[in-house]
Structure 1
Amino acid sequence: MKKNLTPTESNSPDLAFAKSSLGEALMAQLKEGSSSYKRIADYLLRNQVKVTALGIEDMAEQCEVSTATISRFARDLNFANYAALKNKIAETVQEIFSPVEKLRNTIEGRKNASSPMAASLQSALANINAASQGINDEQIDQVITRLAKAATVYIMGFGISSHLAGILALHLQPYCNRVVEVVAYGGTEVAAGNLANITDKDVLIVISFPRYALDVIRLTEFARKHSTCIVAITDSSASPIAQLGDYLLLAPSNHAVLASSSSAATAVIEALVSSMMVSNKKNVEKAIRLTEALSGYLHNNDNTSRTTQLESRKTKK
């Protein structure tokens, strides 16, 4: 059963909107509505603030539907018309508005006046700030507990997300019973093979950002059928992966130019790993031993390795 373990509403505007009565109605349409309704619901869930300034014609253009469809959508949600729906969205946003959303809107306003480099860095800053607001210690602790008890921790990401999965797998390796990077460089066939024996004793960490890969959705659904605990790292509560996860770690991926940004995802991964490392004394000891083991291969200021220095000292003795 999905645990719906999310941060407090004051901490995460995106999640707070999704958990509101209006947000839940939109999530229902996102799951079960027609293709047109799904596009409308998806857009509303991702652009709550922006929608409050859009007329019905602009909204229809953004969702690639007719104005009649927008009106029908509003009525099916028990609103008199689109204007009434938009007013409700504005009212809901006003109740949960936070400084991070203000920062995001400020950055959006500056994009046209900024260089591509500045806009990219500003987007990264806003995304990381939003991620920090949307994840709390209790949620992370619960994920860490599941990872520590898991027989195997599977980590899956396709495309750009495969690199993020590789980073996470490398960092978690010393602290989990067994870690499997599901995709690596093998693609869907290898990923499916790696997940073939997944059970309810395992944990699957799924990393997915726009543009979402169909394979990651299908394989995650396969894991759910085997009662596997799923941790989703994705950009929005409207993400198809968010709806499949037992635990949701949001990492906004807005970017001025790219299809999505990985800056917040990297920050969330580092936060998760850091929490795992210091979660108990044994992990702290493992981290120390790992550092000592690697020290012989690290560069020093005098261009010699740590191993060379130690051998030199033994020779002198």
Structure 2
Amino acid sequence: MVSYRHLKEVIQASYPDLTKNHKRIADYFLANMEKVPFLSVQELSLEVKASVASVVRFAQQIGYSGYSELREDVSSILQNKISNGDIFNPSEALNPKTDLFSSIAGIEIKNINSTLQSLDRASLSQVVKSILKADKVYTAGLGVSYYMSEVLAYQLNQVAVNADNLRHDSMLLTEQIPFIKKNDFIVYFSFPPYSKETIEAAELAHTLGLRSAAITNKPTAPITRFTDHQLLVSSENLLYTNALTGIAVLINTIVTECGRKNKEKARVMISLLKGVENSYTE
């Protein structure tokens, strides 16, 4: 029996070579692994809107003899996680007799640990290099992703990186993309529910040959098809919103590394900002 993490990695590694139907099945597995043991091959085919044969071929493509063997393996993996106490029970955290703050903190810690394990350090290094080489950095996102993109742009400015957040007011993101130049770099934030407007902006930028990175929650997120680099962050939460701590840690890492590699300019900028601040407090 393989581990839960190993099975996810196998599916993720196979993803670029999968057909459109198989990618839909892979997406379902990565998002709903706990449901698989309870679904027959016919039921799963209805869930993913693919034929039974496609489900069987998907299982074979990731190393199993068929769907039955894959389902048995998933069932064993989940039983093992339950017996080890690895699966978090949301109802316990929502029980008024429990310490909700500790439960939420526990989820955030798990998100950070998961991100530590899954984050591709080589991709992170490439994103930092691209940011520092760019004439200007643009950040983009909608919903809670808008605020995280705003934070990244603000903090990059603090370490002397010319950055701006694409606004969301009278102009659509797609209307702002044509003004971005070839030597610029875009960082998108895209988390469930994935904003169609952000994905369309990324697709347009990709068509125009603009370089970009996506900060998102999984390798199969729609925006990853249109970006050069992907930084994956776990954002699991009790509510139907994204937890932000893991994203904030990644932002802090990117900005700190940019400041470390751009020491002289960052030092001058910090000194300048402190001088402005002091002039108003004296």
Give the TM-score taking structure 1 as reference length: 0.71
Given the superposition, is the C-alpha separation of residues 88 and 147 from structure 1 closer, same or farther in structure 2, using an over 3 Å criterion? same
1:84 maps to amino acid:
E
Alpha-carbon shift at residue 178 of structure 1 (Å): 3.1
**Does the 8 Å CA contact 1:148/1:175 hold for their aligned counterparts?**
no
Q: Give the corresponding residue for 1:215.
A: 197
Stretches of structure 2 lacking an aligned partner (at least 5 in a row): none
Q: Deviations 1:69-104 (Å, cap 9, x if unpaired)? A: 57333223346542123356689x89xxxxxxx79x
Q: Give the corresponding residue for 1:156.
A: 140
Mapped pair 1:114 → 2:93 = yes
**Take 1:265 and 1:59, find their aligned partners in 2: how far apart are those partners?**
38
Given the superposition, is the C-alpha separation of residues 81 and 138 from structure 1 closer, same or farther in structure 2, using an over 3 Å criterion? closer
Q: Give the corresponding residue for 1:40.
A: 25
Given the superposition, is the C-alpha separation of residues 195 and 17 from structure 1 closer, same or farther in structure 2, using an over 3 Å criterion? farther
**Take 2:13 and 2:42, find their aligned partners in 1: how far apart are those partners?**
20
**Take 2:41 and 2:74, find their aligned partners in 1: how far apart are those partners?**
16
Alpha-carbon shift at residue 62 of structure 1 (Å): 11
**Does the 8 Å CA contact 1:207/1:232 hold for their aligned counterparts?**
yes
Q: CA RMSD in A?
A: 3.5
Matched position secondary structure for 2:87: helix
Stretches of structure 1 lacking an aligned partner (at least 5 in a row): 1-12, 95-101, 298-304, 309-317
Matched position secondary structure for 1:231: strand
Q: Give the corresponding residue for 2:259.
A: 277
Alpha-carbon shift at residue 198 of structure 1 (Å): 2.2
**Does the 8 Å CA contact 1:18/1:27 hold for their aligned counterparts?**
no
Given the superposition, is the C-alpha separation of residues 146 and 26 from structure 1 closer, same or farther in structure 2, using an over 3 Å criterion? closer
Q: Give the corresponding residue for 1:7.
A: none
Alpha-carbon shift at residue 237 of structure 1 (Å): 0.9
2:30 maps to amino acid:
L
Matched position secondary structure for 1:223: helix
**Take 2:181 and 2:155, find their aligned partners in 1: how far apart are those partners?**
23
Q: Deviations 1:252-302 (Å, cap 9, x if unpaired)? A: 1111223322221111111111111111331441354145235427xxxxx
Given the superposition, is the C-alpha separation of residues 251 and 74 from structure 1 closer, same or farther in structure 2, using an over 3 Å criterion? same
**Take 2:123 and 2:15, find their aligned partners in 1: how far apart are those partners?**
24
Given the superposition, is the C-alpha separation of residues 294 and 85 from structure 1 closer, same or farther in structure 2, using an over 3 Å criterion? farther
Instruction: Choose 1 or 2 for highest CA Rg.
Output: 1
Q: 2:52 aligns with which of 58, 68, 71?
A: 71
1:208 maps to amino acid:
S
Equivalences for residues 1-317 of structure 1 within 5 A: 20=10, 22-29=11-18, 32-33=20-21, 39-48=24-33, 50=34, 54-57=37-40, 60=43, 64=47, 69=50, 71-77=52-58, 78=60, 81-86=66-71, 106=85, 108-115=87-94, 117-118=100-101, 119-135=103-119, 137-175=121-159, 178-182=162-166, 184-186=167-169, 189-290=171-272, 292-293=274-275, 295-296=277-278, 307-308=281-282
**Take 2:12 and 2:121, find their aligned partners in 1: how far apart are those partners?**
24
Count of aligned pairs between the two proteins = 268
Matched position secondary structure for 1:238: coil
Matched position secondary structure for 2:226: coil
Give the TM-score taking structure 2 as reference length: 0.78
Q: Give the corresponding residue for 1:314.
A: none
Q: Deviations 1:196-251 (Å, cap 9, x if unpaired)? A: 12233111100010000111111101111122111110011121122322111111
**Take 1:164 and 1:256, find their aligned partners in 2: how far apart are those partners?**
20
**Take 1:155 and 1:39, find their aligned partners in 2: how far apart are those partners?**
29
